[in-house]
Amino acid sequence: MSQIRKPAVAGYFYPADPSKLKSEIEYLLSEAEKKEIQGKLYGIISPHAGYAYSGKTAAFGFKLLDKNNIKTVIIISPSHREYFPGISIYDGDAYRTPLGTVFVNKLAADSLALNAKTIFKGQEGHREEHAIEVQIPFLQTVLDDFEIVPVVMGDQGKLYIDELTERLKDTVDENTLIVASSDLSHYYPGDIADKMDSLVERYINLFNYEQLFENFEQKRCEACGSGTIIAMMKSADRLKYSKSMVLHRSDSGDTTGNKNEVVGYLSAAVYGD
């Protein structure tokens, strides 16, 4: 019997009806400008709110994906619903969305967990977490034949970031893409959120993850998936992918019209020569 993680937020974060879901994603992709990057794509930073809020921004990242070159997608997310000390790789066989089932690349999952002190295979963080799930229908729309490695960071401290960085460096191959799932600041007035989120944008564009990490630590800016972003950028640097570019940035007030309390979103590409 296969162990398949069923959709937890279908009908809430995105349509549960397959035809409506596919139509919405295709529309979002058609509206997104395809940015040009000079080099090979290593990964994307992608928001994970409901599609009505962050789908437009997310589409800019997924627009870059080349279905001929990507066979494995490692999706790294924060844990919104449960804390645990470590990093959990889903130990089941697949994730299901209304668009179908995507299987886990067991070899890549085993490689990430091999001899790790803080990375393990389990169910922790995967039961109701939306930050991985909302990425998958986009992937199912732009890619053909691919597998995933669902990774949830129960703790995003430096210890965990550093080990994940090293394990990613040793696991990624030329047919692997990393998706760092993260939103930005939460529930600040629009002008304050813009100031904070622009710091994230600045240091991503500079590919300066060390300063970005310090800014997160000093609370100058926020990202609920700060560790996913830093681990992805650090592992990219180890593999000589040392460029990054923000593709689009927005906030929830752009949808609701209410700028009193907003959540920030950003999509970005990490790439190299």
According to the 3-state scheme, what is the secondary structure of the chain? CCCEECCCCECCCECCCHHHHHHHHHHHHHHCCCCCCCCEEEEEEECCCCHHHHHHHHHHHHCCCCCCCCCEEEEEEECCCCCCCCEEEECCCEEEECCEEEEECHHHHHHHHCCCCCEEEECCCCCCCHHHHCCHHHHHHHCCCCEEEEEEECCCCHHHHHHHHHHHHHHCCCCEEEEEECCCCEEECHHHHHHHHHHHHHHHHCCCHHHHHHHHHCCCCCCCCHHHHHHHHHHHHHCCCCEEEEEEEEECHHHHCCCCCEEEEEEEEEEEC
> With 80 as the cut, is the pLDDT of residue 1 above it?
no
In this structure, CATH architecture of domain 4-272: 3-Layer(aba) Sandwich (3.40)
220-255 tens-digit pLDDT: 999 999 999 999 999 999 999 999 999 999 999 999
The whole-model pTM stands at 0.98
Q: What confidence score (pLDDT) does residue 186 get?
A: 97
| Beta pairing partners, 96 | 101
Residue 254, CA atoms < 13 Å, CB-side half-sphere = 17
Q: What confidence score (pLDDT) does residue 182 get?
A: 98
pLDDT band for position 136 (cuts 50, 70, 90): very high
183-212 tens-digit pLDDT: 999 999 999 999 999 999 999 999 999 999
Question: Quick one: average pLDDT of 54-81?
Answer: 96
Q: How far apart are CA 173 and CA 108, in angstroms?
A: 10
Domain ranges of the chain: 4-272
Q: How far apart are CA 193 and CA 168, in angstroms?
A: 31
31-48 tens-digit pLDDT: 999 999 999 999 999 999
Q: What confidence score (pLDDT) does residue 68 get?
A: 87
Q: How far apart are CA 27 and CA 21, in angstroms?
A: 10
- Measured between its terminal Cα atoms, the distance across the chain in Å is 43
Nearest Cα neighbor of 149 from 225, 86, 73 is 73
